[in-house]
Chain A
Amino acid sequence: MKILVCISNVPDTTTKITFTNDNTEFNTAGVQYIVNPYDEIALARAIELTEGGKGTTTVINVGEAATDPTIRKALAIGADDAVRVNAAPRDAYFVAKQIAEYAKDKDFDMILTGRESIDYNGNQVAAMVGEFLDIPSISIIKKLDTDGTNATIEREIEGGKEVLTVSGKFVASCAEGVAEPKIPNMRGIMSARTKPLTVVEAVSIEEVTKVAKYETPAPRGTVKLIPAEQTAELINLLHSEAKVI
């Protein structure tokens, strides 16, 4: 079985988000980058399905050379090889096109992503890759099993879940539940240095979006503290002042 896992290079979850250049650019100063946490779930499941000679897991990232440490981290976790499409990831449409171009003649049995990247929160890439390749895509999955040809998948829906099957190639975006993220061990970290990382050039595609500006949420006023014994007062405030109940 051959699995392709798409990984995104994102700011660490503890990052304080600020912007520069009149709020048009994300301020990267001092920011630590990590493998997008949801992509780690996808990666962990791919490794479970392919380790021990059952197949291969390839990771792909669309990014410039600065993302190589993040790709090496994915190799340390257990991917067999890696591909970097050498371009700044303009938007999901651009990224998905690059991944589809790379994957179209490589015969991957499945392509996995995380449910969304924690920077742009898109959850767009998986379904876009599916559309570019004209194969099924299943978004926000909670469980993934396969016998090599037929996969059984659980997908989250409002207030429940949907169980579905898919035959043949597909793309899926993974959420919590699919697998537990793996922590690289020393052997993984050592071997990651010598695993193949191929760099390919990007294809061109029309621009469809651009970020004009960023905003940060308006700060809230100071908290109104209510003494612990006056819970009725809190209910009153929520009813008559905040008007939410």
Chain B
Amino acid sequence: MSVLVYVEQAEGKFKKSVFEAVSYAKAIANQQSTNLTAISIGDVAESELKELGKYGASKVLNVSTDQLKTFVNQAYASVISSAAEKEGADVVVLSNSFSGKGLAPRIAVKLKAGLADGAVELPSTDGKFSVKKTAFSGKAFAITELTSANKVIALNPNAFGVKENATDVTIENFNADVKQSDLGTVIKDIVRATDKVSLPDAELVVSAGRGLKGPENWGMIEELAGLLGAATACSKPVSDADWRPHSEHVGQTGIAISPNLYIAIGISGAIQHLAGVSSSKVIVVINKDPEAPFFKVADYGIVGDAFEVVPKLIEALKAHKA
């Protein structure tokens, strides 16, 4: 019995959300008095793989097969599942990232395992294996019991935090047999905005709504986000009007996020928007309407015109950083 964590690399590096998944998987391994093995697929330098030991992985399976250098959902799921079987791992942990969301269900079917995705806490240890996960787009949580022998968990970013747990780590090459039929998708191009913080796993988010009046006014939002090292987001009417890309739309029908800080500017706080952001740790609302429903769920608020408040906030932040 052991725990297996899939460590997703992007351009040969692991992101914070990966170290968070390793930290979480290590805590589960500790609950079950067993070891943690990590599996990495693609070109990752040994020094980077060794980093995983810092968070508690005692073994890293390194898959560097040529056919698997770029992401192929079906083949990656096969490799991770066969690693779980070979290692005798009955719990498989992934980040609930875009790729993780594609992999976890396939692994669950291969292992006949119950899947808890969007997990926000460690499993219960009361004899049942229950995982708290988000449901109803942030309006509730479902305590989901995984009743199968094997279990798969996809952890939400920022839900557990990165926890150091230095362990001696060994790195083994893992030879994966790749079936041709598992290679049905072929990547043609990857476009990544490297200068921006990615929204789903951002710790800080600056978001704006219709109160900004038009796409030409987003300069100050981007400046504020840049100073904070935050990702930018927007409300549904804004992405519907094509002021901002759909990938920035947070809310019930956009993406749900749980950053440490969410600053909402010129967003009234409709129930659908709140659903996607209510699990943020700290919420700041800037709105000229003191009756805006968003103030009811905010920790800090400023009643004022965004066009006056945001530039002053930028000044104050510059002064604070200096």
Contact = CB atoms under 8 A, between A and B. Distances in A.
A214 to B, nearest CB: 5
B34 interface: no
A139 B317 contact: no
Interface in B112-150: 112-118, 128, 130, 132, 134-148
B204 A217 contact: no
Contacts of B45: none
Contacts of B197: 159
A223 B97 contact: no
B32 interface: no
Given A118-B137, A176-B254, A223-B295, A163 B313 contact: no
Contact of A208 (B106, B148, B278, B298): B148
Contacts of A136: 73-74, 184-185
A239 interface: yes
B134 A223 contact: no
Q: Looking at chain B's contact residues, is the secondary structure mostly helix, strand, loop, or mixed?
A: mixed
A121 B134 contact: yes
A223 B300 contact: yes
Given A207-B147, A223-B298, A231-B316, A215 B106 contact: no
B185 A138 contact: yes
Interface stretch (A11-19, A76-84, A191-199): A11-19
Given A131-B106, A217-B140, A235-B317, A208 B114 contact: yes
Interface residues of B, number: 103
Given A123-B101, A132-B109, A165-B188, A14 B296 contact: no
A66 interface: no
Given A128-B109, A170-B184, 15 more contacts: A13-B275, A14-B272, A127-B104, A134-B181, A140-B102, A156-B247, A158-B97, A162-B189, A164-B186, A164-B187, A208-B148, A209-B144, A211-B143, A224-B299, A232-B319
20 contacts: A17-B140, A38-B253, A123-B101, A124-B115, A127-B101, A131-B106, A137-B73, A160-B190, A162-B190, A163-B190, A165-B185, A208-B108, A208-B112, A208-B146, A211-B144, A215-B141, A223-B285, A236-B320, A238-B261, A244-B282
Interface of A: 11, 13-14, 16-17, 19, 37-38, 91-93, 96, 118-128, 130-132, 134-140, 142, 152, 155-168, 170, 175-177, 206-217, 220-221, 223-229, 231-232, 234-239, 242, 244-245
Interface of B: 10, 15, 71, 73-74, 77, 97-99, 101-106, 108-110, 112-118, 128, 130, 132, 134-148, 181, 184-194, 196-201, 204, 228, 239, 246-247, 249, 252-254, 256, 260-261, 271-272, 275, 278-279, 281-285, 295-305, 308-309, 312-313, 315-317, 319-320
